[in-house]
Amino acid sequence: MASNASFSCFRTAGENTRLASCSSVNFAAFFLAMNKTPTVKAKMTLPALNVDFDTDAECRQALEELRWPDGVTCPRCQSESISRITTRKQFDCNACRYRFSVTTGTIFNDSHLPLPKWFMAIFLMCESKKGISSMQLMRMLGVSKKTAWYLNHRIRESMRIDVAEPLEGTIEVDETYIGGKPRYRVGTGSHHARKEMVLAAIQRGGEIRLQHVKKGFNKKKGQGFGNKRQFHKFIKDHAPNPARIFTDEHPAYVGIGDEDTTHETVKHAAKEYVRGDVSTNTTEGAFGLFKRSIVGSFHQISVKHLDRYLDEFEFRFNNRKNGYLFRDTITRLVTAKALPYEKLTA
Ligand SMILES: [Zn+2]
């Protein structure tokens, strides 16, 4: 039956603080109310999606559970006294007589796209490690170019309402150059004029922050290299007061430490990657993925898309362990208008 099938995909350990912090939905109360034992992690898969959300009714059931975990509430007067008009997939408020459906006042109502296609689009976007283009969505869903663009844009926005927390503890910072030719070529300023510099900071075992630094200038190395002011600003912006900062020996990092923050370097040029616990090993994976990903995907993309690309990468990386992304994204989409605007932009 639709009720159980759709619900099973939303079971969690009830400890998803990420979601709790950015939406009003209280999942712990939800599960208690439903009297079900949450499983540790129920990750959405393509076959499960196919079985559980291939009909309008199943999608509606899921949306209802996510939008009103404590029971259907009138969007107009907040009354909990509701009658179901099952034949018309609608609810009737017993207090104010307002007639509404689970999609009333949500983004799902704005489009004429069938709900199973919405769910499919959300799933595809959550599962694509490198992101997905509108053209690809168009082909995979069999929708128009305009619809695909709209879905891509709207879902992406809902995937990213998290507020970036400052990085803490042990931070590793690295820089990379994008756009052609070898990385370090001292004295070849003209080559770097065409390169774009990206700074990356990672909290050990935590999140990554990426930033495209424009028009950097270094007296010795020339245009495109970035200077001390930019490097320091990037670090202060994303990690105001970490305990330790590990970097390579780029001169622009010099002086980033202070009495609270130890700055330690590894000599990458001399193939030194580990010295005691001073290393960038834990983040080699992230930087490696980032650089390979850029080489693989970015070399054909123009600079104007770089910021968006970095955003996408950052988001994917930071959500790599979030098994609830599919459910979270749907919840955000169905509750989006209930959230105050400041909460989205704070
Ligand atoms: Zn009402």
Question: 214 C-alpha vs ligand 1 centroid, how far in Å?
Answer: 53
Tell me what the mean pLDDT of segment 276-300 comes to: 60
- The class (CATH top level) of 170-300 is alpha beta
How many other C-beta atoms can be found within 10 angstroms of the C-beta atom of residue 298? 20
What pLDDT does 301 receive?
54
Give every CB contact of residue 313 below 8 A, 6+ residues apart in sequence. 210, 290, 293
Question: 307 C-alpha vs ligand 1 centroid, how far in Å?
Answer: 44
Tokens 């128009």 locate to: 144
What pLDDT does 292 receive?
67
Question: 51 C-alpha vs ligand 1 centroid, how far in Å?
Answer: 34
Encoded tokens for 124: 């595809």
Question: pLDDT tens digits, residue range 135-148?
Answer: 889 999 999 998 89
Question: 72 C-alpha vs ligand 1 centroid, how far in Å?
Answer: 11
Between CA 63 and CA 54 the distance in angstroms is: 14
What pLDDT does 8 receive?
37
Q: What is the pTM of this model?
A: 0.58
Question: 105 C-alpha vs ligand 1 centroid, how far in Å?
Answer: 14
What pLDDT does 115 receive?
94
For residue 10, what pLDDT band results from cuts at 50, 70 and 90? Answer: very low
pLDDT for residue 23 is more than 60: no
Question: 80 C-alpha vs ligand 1 centroid, how far in Å?
Answer: 8
Percent of residues, the chain, with pLDDT higher than 90 = 23
pLDDT for residue 31 is more than 80: no
**Count, residues in the chain:** 346
Q: Does 58 or 338 have the greater pLDDT score?
A: 58
Question: 333 C-alpha vs ligand 1 centroid, how far in Å?
Answer: 22
Encoded tokens for 242: 């970490």
What pLDDT does 56 receive?
92
What pLDDT does 293 receive?
66
Give every CB contact of residue 133 below 8 A, 6+ residues apart in sequence. 152
For residue 150, what pLDDT band results from cuts at 50, 70 and 90? Answer: confident
CA nearest to 49, candidates 150, 123, 155: 123
Percent of residues, the chain, with pLDDT higher than 70 = 63
CA nearest to 254, candidates 205, 218, 299: 218
Question: 114 C-alpha vs ligand 1 centroid, how far in Å?
Answer: 27
Among 33-47, 118-132, 264-278, 331-345, the range with the most confident prediction by mean pLDDT is 118-132
Between CA 84 and CA 174 the distance in angstroms is: 57
Q: What is the mean pLDDT of the chain?
A: 73
What pLDDT does 221 receive?
58
Question: 154 C-alpha vs ligand 1 centroid, how far in Å?
Answer: 28
Question: 68 C-alpha vs ligand 1 centroid, how far in Å?
Answer: 14
What pLDDT does 268 receive?
63
Phi and psi at 228, nearest 5°, equal -60, -40
Between CA 117 and CA 155 the distance in angstroms is: 12
Buried b (16+ CB within 10 A) or exposed e, 154-173: bbbebbbbbeeeebeebbbb
For residue 332, what pLDDT band results from cuts at 50, 70 and 90? Answer: confident
What residues pack around ion ligand 1 (CB closer than 5 A)?
74, 76-77, 79, 93, 95-96, 98
In order, the DSSP letters of 188-221 are: -HHHHHT-EEEEEEEETTS-EEEEEETT-EETTT
Tell me what the mean pLDDT of segment 294-303 comes to: 56
Question: 83 C-alpha vs ligand 1 centroid, how far in Å?
Answer: 11
Question: 77 C-alpha vs ligand 1 centroid, how far in Å?
Answer: 4
Question: 312 C-alpha vs ligand 1 centroid, how far in Å?
Answer: 40
Between CA 197 and CA 312 the distance in angstroms is: 17
What pLDDT does 226 receive?
67
Domain ranges of the chain: 2-71+105-115+322-345, 170-300
Question: pLDDT tens digits, residue range 318-331?
Answer: 877 777 888 888 88
Give every CB contact of residue 263 below 8 A, 6+ residues apart in sequence. 244, 245, 247, 253, 255, 256, 257
Question: 158 C-alpha vs ligand 1 centroid, how far in Å?
Answer: 27
What pLDDT does 144 receive?
92
Tell me what the mean pLDDT of segment 187-207 comes to: 71
Question: 75 C-alpha vs ligand 1 centroid, how far in Å?
Answer: 7
Question: 76 C-alpha vs ligand 1 centroid, how far in Å?
Answer: 5
For residue 96, what pLDDT band results from cuts at 50, 70 and 90? Answer: very high
Question: 32 C-alpha vs ligand 1 centroid, how far in Å?
Answer: 26
Q: Does 66 or 12 have the greater pLDDT score?
A: 66
Tell me what the mean pLDDT of segment 12-31 comes to: 38
In order, the DSSP letters of 228-272 are: HHHHHHHHHHH-SS-SEEEE-S-GGGTT---SS-EEEE--GGGT-
